[in-house]
Structure 1
Amino acid sequence: MAQKTGGEPQIDGRSTRWDEHKAQRQVEWVDAAVALIEEEGAVFGVQRLAERVGVPRSVLYRHFKDRASLDELIRRRVVESFMRRMEPTLTFDGTIEESVRRVVSAHLDWVSQHPRLYAYMGVGEHAMGDGSLVADTKTAIALMLGERFGEVLEALGVRGAPIRSVAVGIVGFVDTAVNQWVRDPQRELSEEELRTMLCRSVWAVLDATLRNLGVELSPDQRVSDLERA
């Protein structure tokens, strides 16, 4: 037990070791849960996870407050995986067309590779602004895109454009289209056809927005050249 000696409480070494052990176990078991979802699907029981990691269910629960806290840690791990795939694509290297395709492809490729994790995130259930982890992730991507759009426009002499709203709309459109596609048992488009459709649609929105601002650009123009204009 921690004892006070002259003011500051002393740290119980046993408590610290337990906290470290608990944190390490949480990491290992969340990783195991992610692997279980990848293999068997988004719906799984705690008993199934306990069997996988080789401990009684009661022991598993001692390391998590409740099922909701376990789900939140798993969802956070999945979101981290998704963002590791997305963040490097938001730099807009190459031409406008290449930049659009890179961002769209990163989203679609991750979903195609991890459809069960995507389903577990419950993407379609969380709209931007609802305060959930998934919604906050979509909002963060939209804000990063909006910031980059704004930097390019400012380099072209356009300031104060409502580009953040456009970025939110683009993210929402791509996210909804991919979500519908991955859930559809009778897909009307192949993965490559969906990729092409999304890229063309995103460019159409960007092109229309730019023209309304008095800017005409070719999708073959390099973003770096625009920023030096």
Structure 2
Amino acid sequence: MPISTRRSRPDGRATRWAGQHERRRAEFVDAALAAIAEHGPEVSTEQIAQQAGVARTRLYKHFGSASDLQRAVSQRVTELLTEEFAPVWHPQGSPMRMITMAVETHLRWLTEHTHLYRYLLRCSPVAETTGTGSFTNIKTTLGRHLTRLFTEYLLAFELDPSPAETTAFGLVGYVESAGTRWLDNPAGISREALVEQLTGAIWTILDHVLRSGGVELDPHRSLPLPDDLTRNGCGDAARQS
């Protein structure tokens, strides 16, 4: 009996269902974000379902559990926060201006989305058991972006790039920890004053890394992008200054 070589066609119904499923998940995540903003970090699944205009059981047709929904919310926030930080990943201006922009962006997000931030922190035990979700993967995403940026600058200055990752993740943790404490206890410190304080401390750390390799930069002087430094030989000049 001859064997048919005709390929089976994809099931159109399955494709449509998959697309509809993802759209509904996205809609429920949007509803969760709105419910968190309204009800705070202690928001219940029932309140999220009410925001979405469905019964709670309908949510669980698209999310395997409350933890699954929390991970989906965390993933969406990671995407939104990465977009918020877009100017930071393509820096312009002086080192102090670059650092200030990054810190301002982070603290502004914390103050404008305090309920959401506390919700993600509240869900941290979920992340500890799975290694994903909550605020953990957000910090990881920010740390990886900064690692790439620091690595490019260190290489442009012909320095050892190995400190890039520990420095990047350490700074993300420093700003996040300081920002959290400030939210809990402002102690009369304005957001602007905190930005200035953190910016100065971060520059001290970065300056130490650079000086260890013989590079001295004016923190208030415009710093070219890594590719421009390499192309124009500016890295060598900074190293000799």
Query: What TM bracket, shorter-length normalisation?
Result: 0.7 to 0.9
Aligned residue runs from structure 1 range 78-157, under 5 A: 78-122=77-121, 125=124, 131-133=131-133, 134-157=135-158
Deviations 1:80-134 (A, max 9, x none): 1111111331222111111111111111111111111111221895899x83233
The answer as to whether partners of 1:123 and 1:179 remain within 8 angstroms in 2 is no
Partners of 1:157 and 1:148 in 2: how far apart? 14
Residue in 2 aligned with 1:187? 187
Corresponding residue number in structure 1 for 2:29: 30
Q: Does the Cα contact within 8 Å between 2:171 and 2:202 map onto a contact in 1?
A: yes
User: Equivalent residue of 1:52, what SS?
Assistant: helix
Comparing 114-123 with 134-143, greater Cα deviation is found at: 134-143
Q: Tell me, what secondary structure is at the counterpart of 2:131?
A: coil
Segment of structure 1 superposing worse, 187-196 or 92-101? 187-196
Task: Map 1:151-166 to 2 at 5 A.
Answer: 151-160=152-161, 162-166=163-167
Task: Identify the residue that residue 219 of structure 1 maps to in structure 2.
Answer: 219
Partner of 1:199: 199
In structure 2, the CA distance between the partners of 1:199 and 1:8, relative to structure 1 (3 Å rule), is same
- The residue that corresponds to 1:39 in the other structure is 38
Change in CA separation of 1:136 and 1:62 when aligned onto 2, cut-off 3 Å:
closer
C-alpha contact (below 8 Å) 1:38/1:117 kept by paired residues? yes
- In the TM superposition, residue 32 of structure 1 has moved relative to its aligned partner by 0.9
Point out where structure 1 has 5 or more consecutive residues left out of the alignment.
none
Contact 1:158 1:213 in 2 (8 A): yes
Q: Match of 2:60, SS?
A: helix
How far the C-alpha of 1:160 sits from its partner, in A, is 4.5
Q: Deviations over 1:32-66 (max 9, x none)?
A: 11011112211212221222222222222222212
Cα pair distance change 1:162/1:19, threshold 3 Å: closer
Q: 1:38, 1:114 within 8 Å by CA — same for their partners in 2?
A: yes
Cα distance in 2 for partners of 1:22, 1:161 equals 43
More moved, 168-177 vs 207-216: 207-216
Alpha-carbon contact 1:25-1:63 (below 8 Å) kept: yes
Could you tell me which amino acid in structure 2 is paired with residue 212 of structure 1? S
Distance in 2 (CA, whole Å) between partners of 1:147 and 1:88 is 15
Identity of aligned residues (%): 31
Residue equivalent to 2:20? 21
Equivalent residue of 1:142, what SS? helix
The answer to whether residue 75 in structure 2 is matched with residue 76 in structure 1 is: yes
Gaps of 5+ in 2: 235-241
Aligned counterparts of 1:124 and 1:211: Cα–Cα separation in 2: 40
RMSD in angstroms over aligned alpha carbons?
2.8
Distance 1:96 1:137, change over 3 A: same
SS of corresponding position for 2:218: coil
Supply the distance in 2 between the matched residues of 1:202 and 1:123 (Cα, whole angstroms): 28
Match of 1:171 in 2: 172
Q: TM-score, normalised by structure 2?
A: 0.80
User: Match for 2:170: what amino acid?
Assistant: G
Supply the distance in 2 between the matched residues of 1:51 and 1:159 (Cα, whole angstroms): 54
Task: Give, in whole Å, the separation in 1 of the partners of 2:208 and 2:44.
Answer: 48
Q: Distance in 1 between matches of 2:13 and 2:225?
A: 60
Give 1:146 deviation, angstroms: 2.7
Q: Deviation at 1:68? A: 1.3
- For 1:54 and 1:125, how far apart are their aligned partners in 2? 27
Contact kept? 2:88, 2:98, Cα under 8 Å: yes
